[in-house]
Chains A and B, each alone.
Chain A
Amino acid sequence: MPIVLDGDRIGRTLTRIAHEIFERSRGVEEIAFVGIQRRGVHLARRLAVLVGDIAKSEVPVGALDITLYRDDLMRHSIGAQPVVGQTNITFSIDDKRILLVDDVLYTGRTIRAALDALLEFGRPKSIQLVVLVDRGHRELPIKADYVGKNLPTSLSQSVQVRVMEVDGTDEVEIQE
């Protein structure tokens, strides 16, 4: 199956997004990254380091698990509940400019859940969305602010993002 982004491309893509974020943010004092479990968290951590290096300062990172906010919970009478991951946001999000990070943007339902989950923690000045891959097929009116790669796909395909921290390799693959 075709690898559409390899480790090198992913690295350069994240660097490019980091520069875009820095450029558009005019100062990084107010920004903070929140990654969506699981792979979004690792992408958020890398972006925070990259932006921090450019700006020569620390950028806070948090992890958000959206399982308990999903809109498809308990709609089926068979099968176990999805595994709940850790949410860990140790800083106040009030008046911050939050950059929400996920690996793949697809139906938009995960992002809807993430917005609901995140707003329980406070009232940020703004929330922007960063995704490594946008594969289309939105079911909700949601759009990313920073996109690593637009990847036109069919509904029968699936997009696998692998990151070093979880999968031992960095790559994006399309599976039929």
Chain B
Amino acid sequence: MKKDLLSIDDLSADEIYRVLETATAMREIGERPIKKVPTLRGKTVVNLFYEPSTRTRTSFEIAEKRLSADTLNIAVAASSVLKGETLADTAMNIEAMSPDMIVLRHSSSGAGHLLSRICRSRIINAGDGLHEHPTQALLDAFTIRQHKREIAGLKVAIIGDLMHSRVLRSNVLLLTKLGAHVFVSGPPTLVPRGIEQLGVTVAATIDEAVRDADVVMMLRIQQERMQGAYFPSLREYFNLFGMTEERVRRARRDVIIMHPGPMNRGVEIASEVADGPYSVILEQVANGVAVRMAVLYLLAGGVEHEAAA
């Protein structure tokens, strides 16, 4: 493993499998009466969140606590960022207190890379702007493997707001690296130009993307990141790109429906689908803790090839 986890590109296919195998072992800890192991005892992990997050922050915090790390959460609303401090200054001040790892969520793409350059601590990217959200892609892969065993050869349809989605980018990098066929679909205004270069197929319609899919991944309409009108109305969006029971039927019979959360019910996904038998949305959340424990454990080790570098 490299020093930091900023992008799925920091991981080789072997390292991705290593994370997923380790997560399998970590899952068992969550089923014990005492859900704690002493592995990261004496390590300090700072969760630095510049954007609102419930799932990811809670998931990281539970993962850190189950590994016995000392954790502290810095939420932007309560910090000196409001007093005008820059990200770099905040990071250097935290760094001065010698934490071992910093988990960073930030609205600017590349924020983790900035921290990586100025911090000795290990940096884990928990979502940076429109760029990446690597632990989400890892937990999605873990969830897919629970249902489909191997990722190579699967047809995965990713549908929705492709433009603003860091979940999309991390998932595409991971899934194509492991040999899945990724089809994407969304309103033309929300399909970034040149997305084919990532190795995905842009489907003309949602139905073409979903047909015979093994996995359907819905993306959230991120209204908070949209400046301007990308589609006429949420109702029209649902009619054209929402995942309904009728559309699910075009996929394979053993399809799984995924969503990174938080869901906009009745916008990108119908409630019957979100709560239906194909949905693995809550499994994704449960697996998130195990996968993040695996990442924390593996990153806490020595840096490979450091001596050679």
Contacts and interface: CB of A to CB of B under 8 A. Distances in A.
B39 A73 contact: yes
A86 B32 contact: no
A73 B302 CA distance: 10
A68 B301 contact: no
B32 A121 contact: yes
A7 interface: no
A81 B26 contact: no
Contacts of A81: 297-298, 300-301
A122 interface: yes
Contacts, number: 65
Contacts of B224: none
A77 B297 contact: no
Contacts of B303: 77-78
B246 interface: no
B37 A77 contact: no
Given A84-B25, A88-B28, A120-B32, A68 B38 contact: yes
A69 B38 contact: yes
Contact of A84 (B1, B26, B36, B304): B26
A83 interface: yes
A77 B306 contact: yes
Interface of A: 65, 68-69, 73-74, 76-81, 83-88, 116-117, 120-122
7 contacts: A73-B301, A74-B301, A81-B298, A84-B21, A84-B25, A87-B28, A120-B37
Given A80-B301, A84-B297, A121-B34, 14 more contacts: A68-B67, A69-B39, A73-B300, A74-B302, A77-B302, A80-B1, A80-B302, A80-B304, A81-B297, A81-B298, A84-B25, A85-B25, A86-B28, A121-B33
Ranked 9 nearest A-B pairs via Cβ: A81-B301, A68-B37, A84-B25, A78-B302, A68-B39, A79-B302, A120-B34, A77-B302, A84-B22
